[in-house]
Amino acid sequence: MTRTYLGEFEELVLLTVAILNGTAYGLSIAEELKLRTDRSINLSGVHVALYRLEDKGFVNSELGGATAARGGRRKRLFSITAYGKRTLDELRQTRNDLWEAIPNLSFS
Amino acid sequence: MPQLPHTVLPPVWADRMLRFICPEELHEELLGDLHEQFEHQVAELGEPTARRLYIEQTIRFCRPYFIARRLRGHSKHRSTYSSPLFLDPHMIRNYFKIAWRTILKHKTFSLLNLFGLALSMSAGFLILLLYQDGYNYDKFHKDAELIYRVNTIATRKNGEIEPYATSPKPIGKVIESTFTWVETVTVLKPFDDVIIKNNQRFDFQGKVTDENFLNIFSFSLQSGDAAHALKEPNSIILTSKLSERLFGSKNPINSTIQLGNRDIYKITGILGPNPGKTHFEFDALLSEKSSEDTVDNWANINAAYTYLKVRPKTNAEQAIRAINKYALPNYKNLAIDNRDAHYKFDLQALPDITPGYSIANAMGKGLPSHLLWFLALMGFIVIVSAIFNYSNLTLAKTFSRAKEIGVRKVMGANRSQVLFQIISEGIILALIALIIAIGFVMYFKAELSALQSFQFFDLNVSPTLSSFAYFIIFAILMGAMAGLLPAITISKLNPLRAIQKIENLAMFKRIGLVKILLVVQFAFTMLFLMIITTLHKQIEFAINMDYGFSADQVYSIRLQGIPVEIVRSKFAGIAGVERISSMDIPIGTYSNASAKMKIHETDEYKSVSSYSVDNEFIPGLGLTLISGTNFSSNPSLNTTNKEVIVNELFTEKYQLGNAAESIGKQIFLNDSTTATIKGVVKDFLFKPADDPLKPLLLRNEPSEWKMLNVKIAPHSTEKTVAALQSAWKELAPGYAFRGEFYKTTIETNFAIGKDVNKIITFFTFLSAVIGIMGLLGMTIYSVEKRQREISLRKVLGATKRDIIITLSKGFVLLLLISFCVAIPLGVYVSDLILTNFANRISAGLNIVLPGFILISLLAVITVCSQTIRAALMNPVKSLRSE
C-alpha cells in the first residue's frame, strides 16, 4: 500500500495531537503549536488539517468537554490512531535513514 | 485563566458569516474554539484588538475546503454513501444529456429562447467589439502612464465651463524650464497646408513640433534619423501614406517640397505606419519655420497642444496645482476672449484621452466615453430583458418538470445537483445561441459600417481572435445568469409535494413576478418607440421646415483660393446658370461666422453673426428686403464708413426702432470703422434648426468671399452641374471640385442625429422582438395550463368569442398598464430631447400613436394566434383523459 501523503503542516498538527493526547482540540493545538514553533498559526488552518487527518484515518475524534467560556459549546477532541502513530514512526525512520546517508555531516 | 463576564461577545455578524460559510455539522466546534480564543485574547490584548483579530480569524475560514464541503452537504457522520460532487465528470455528462433532451422536448420554447438570446447576445457582442475598438487607442506608446496633455479649462462669463484640448503656446516652455519633475515637453501647433507638386495640390494636415515629439511618443521612422529630423528649420516628416500619395514607391528622403506658394521644406524622415490606433491626427510633422514669431501669447488658448512626460512617481494632482500656480499670474491684466471669465489648466493622462470626455479642439476620432456608456446601457437593457424572458419561460414550463425534479430528489440528488442541472440547460442554450449570434453580428456589422458616424468616429467592429474568447465567456455567463433564477426556484421544490399535486405548488406565486417583468419589457419598448418617433419626426421637420430662404436650386461651390471674379465670369457663361452670388461661409451649417460690433461708441464690442455677401445674395436666395436698399453691384469704396444690411431681429434686439427707422443708423465695427445700415432683410434661419434665430449682420467685403452660390435653372440641373465641373477643371487644374446643393448641406447637419436614431431603432427592434416572444411564451403557457378549464367552458356553452376574451383579458390589462407607465415617461423624455432644438415639433399624440398602434397590433396578433387556436380546439380531446 502506498502511504498516504502527509503535508508538513499536517505532520506538525499530528505530532501535536500526539503530545496533547486526550485534550487535543482545535484551539489547544493551535496554542501549543504557536508556543513550540514560533509560527503564526490561524485556527482555520488547524481545523482544515485536523479534518483532513481524520479523513485519512490518522486521528479519531469525539465531541465533549463543553465549558462556559465556549458559550456551552462542545469541543471536538482528537486522539491519534494506531495507524497515525505508525505513520509518524515510519516518517521518522525514513528521515533518520536519510540523515545517516549524508556523507559529511559537518555543515558548518 | 481569568473568567470574564459574559457581556464581552465577539461581533454577531462575524458568527453569522461563519455559519454561512462552514458546513452545519462543524458550527458547534468551530464557534466554540473561536469564542474561547476570543476570550483569551480579550484578557491578553484588550477588547478592540481581540475583536479585530476575531474578524480576521473568521474571514480566514473562507477557505475552499469549507466552502466545498458545505456545498457538497457532505458529512461522514450522517451517511456512508458518497454522493458525487456536482462537478464530477459523470455528472457533467449527465447534465448535458438531460439539457439536450429538454431542449428537444420543448421545441417551441427552446426556439423562442434561442432566438431571443441570440439577438440580444449579438447586440452585446457588437457593443463589446465597439468597446474593444474604443479602448484600443494609444496603447503602443512606451510609458503611456507618464505622458500627460495640458488641457485648458475655460470658465465663461455666464458660468459655463468648457474644456479645451489646446493650451497657450508659452506654457510648454514654462513647464519645461520650471519643474524638476518634468522629463520632456513637446508642443504641437496645427498647421494645415497644401503641397504643390507638378502643378497639383495635395492638402494635408500638419503639426509643427520639435524633436521631443518623437522622443516622447513611440512613432517610429521607417527612414530618417528621429533625433535630428526636426532640428533644422524648414524640415518636414511625412507619413508613409502621404509620401506614397506624393512620390509613389520612391523614397523621397532629403528631397525638397514646396508648401503653398511660399516655403521650401526638406524631407528629413518618413514615418512608418502607426503601430496601432492613436488620437493624433497628422499627415506630416514640420519643424518651426526660421522666421517663426516668438511672441508669447497667453491669451490664445487655441494655439497649441502641449504634451509632457513626467518622471516616475509624480503626483498628477500636485503637478496640476504647481502648473496653475506658475501659469495663472500671466493672466493678470491680460485681455482674453471676451466671452471667457478666466482659465485654468489641467493634466489629462494619455490613456484617458480617447475614449475620454468631449473636449473642444479635440484631435482625432474615436467615440467619446459617454457615448460608449450610453450604448452599454442600451445593450444592458436588451440583454437583461432577454435573460428575464428565458427565466420567465423556463419558470412557466417548470410545472411539466416538477415530477422529474421530485423523482431526482427522492433518488438522492441534492440541491446543488438540481441547481447545476437547470443552469447547465441555460448555458447549453446560450452556447447554441452564440453560433447564431455570431451570424447576426456579421450581418449587423455590414449595416453598421455603412453609417456615416461610423466613418466619422473611425470605428471598426471586426472581431479578432481575442474577441471570440470574450464571446464564449460572455455566452456562458449569460446562460448561467438566465438559468439561475429558475434553478433556484426549482431546486427548492419539496420532492413529496412535487410528485403529489403540481398545481398547488408555491412556485406559481412567481407568476406575479413574471407579469411585472412583462410589463417592464413592454414599457421599455414603448418608451424606445416614442423616442425614435420623436427623433425621426424632429429631424424630418428640421430638414423640411421653412428656413426663410429658398435654396432649392442653389449650388454652393468653394473657391479654395481661386479669385472670385475669374470663376464668376467663367460660370456666368454656362447655360442653365441663372444667378451667381458670392459669400464667405455657406449658410445653413453650424460654422460660426461672426463679427464684432457695437451700437454706441461707448459700448463694448459684441459678437454678432455675420456673413460677407454681395448684391446678388439677397435675390439669389429668395430673401426679401423689408426696407432700405440692397448693396450696389460695386462694393462701396468708402473704407471708413461701410454699408451693412441687418435682419429684423437685429433692429429689435439692439433697439434701433422699426425697419424703416433703422435705415441710415450707424454702428461701430471693431476694425475701427463705422457702418451705415442700408437695408433690413426679413428674418431667415441661417443656422441649422437646432439653433435659434439670431441677430444678423450682412457685410459687403469682397476680400472675404470664399465661395459662390450658383442658382441653376430647374430643367437641366444635372447637365449644368456637369458643365460647372468641367469649367472648374479648366480654371483650376489639380483642385478638387467642392460643391453641393444647399439641400444636401442642410441634410448633412443631421447625419449624426439620423445615425443615433438608427442605432436606437436597432435596439428598439431587439427589445420589441424579445418582448413579443416573451408574450408569446406566456400565452402558450397560460393556454396550456388552462386547457381543461377552456374545454369545460366550451362544454357548458361558452362561445368562441367568450373564450378568446377570457384568455386575452389578462394580457390586454398588462399591456395597458405598461402603456400607462411608458406614455407619460416617454412624453417627458421626448420633451427633454426636443429642448435641444430651438425650432421643434411639439410632443403629443403624434409621437405616441405610432408606437401605441404598433405594439398593440403586434401584441394582439401574438395573443390571438394562441387563444384562437385554443378556442377552436375540440373540448373532448382534453377532457377524455380525465
pLDDT at B708: 92
The span from the CA of B165 to the CA of B841, in Å, is 35
**Number of helices (H) and strands (E), helices first, in chain A?**
4, 2
Phi-psi region of B141 (alpha: psi -120 to 50; beta: other; left: phi over 0): beta
Residues of chain B neighbouring A52 (CB-CB closer than 8 A): 65
pLDDT at B293: 57
Nearest CA in chain B to A55: B76
The span from the CA of B842 to the CA of B534, in Å, is 9
Say whether pLDDT at A4 is over 70. no
Nearest to B35 among A45, A48, A71 (CB): A71
By the 8 A CB rule, do B825 and B527 touch? Answer: yes
Residues of chain B neighbouring A63 (CB-CB closer than 8 A): 28-29
pLDDT at B746: 84
pTM of the shown model? 0.66
Query: How confident is residue A89, by pLDDT bands cut at 50, 70 and 90?
Result: very high
Cell numbers at residue B99, please? 439539457
Does the beta carbon of A29 lie under 8 angstroms from any beta carbon of chain B? Answer: no
- Alpha carbon B4 to chain centroid, angstroms: 63
Q: Which of A32, A34, A70 to mutate to test the interface with B (most CBs of B within 10 A)?
A: A70
pLDDT at B480: 92
The string of DSSP codes covering B629-656 is -PPPSS----SSEEEEEEEHHHHHHTT-
Residues of chain B neighbouring A34 (CB-CB closer than 8 A): none
Across the interface, do B63 and A48 touch by the CB < 8 Å criterion? yes
The span from the CA of B293 to the CA of B260, in Å, is 19
Nearest to A73 among B28, B63, B76 (CB): B28
The span from the CA of B747 to the CA of B762, in Å, is 22
Q: Which of B21, B28, B58 to mutate to test the interface with A (most CBs of A within 10 A)?
A: B28
pLDDT at B7: 61
The span from the CA of B308 to the CA of B175, in Å, is 9
Q: How many contacts (CB atoms, under 8 Å) link A and B?
A: 64
The span from the CA of B640 to the CA of B626, in Å, is 26
- Start-to-end C-alpha separation, chain B: 75
> Predicted ipTM?
0.86
Question: What averages of pLDDT result for each successive group of 10 residues across chain B (882 residues)?
Answer: 58 85 83 87 87 87 82 52 64 84 85 88 88 86 91 88 90 89 91 82 87 89 87 89 88 86 85 87 84 70 90 90 89 80 90 84 78 84 84 74 80 82 89 92 84 75 84 92 85 72 53 77 88 89 86 87 87 89 88 83 85 90 89 78 90 87 87 86 88 89 89 88 90 84 86 81 84 83 80 87 88 92 93 87 88 92 87 78 58
pLDDT in tens, A22-62: 788 988 999 899 888 888 888 888 999 999 898 888 998 88
Q: Buried (b) or exposed (e) across B67-83, using 16+ Cβ within 10 A?
A: eebbbbbbeeeeeeeeb
Nearest to B15, CA basis, from B59, B49, B48: B59
Q: To the nearest whole angstrom, how far is the Cα of B28 from the nearest Cα of chain A?
A: 6
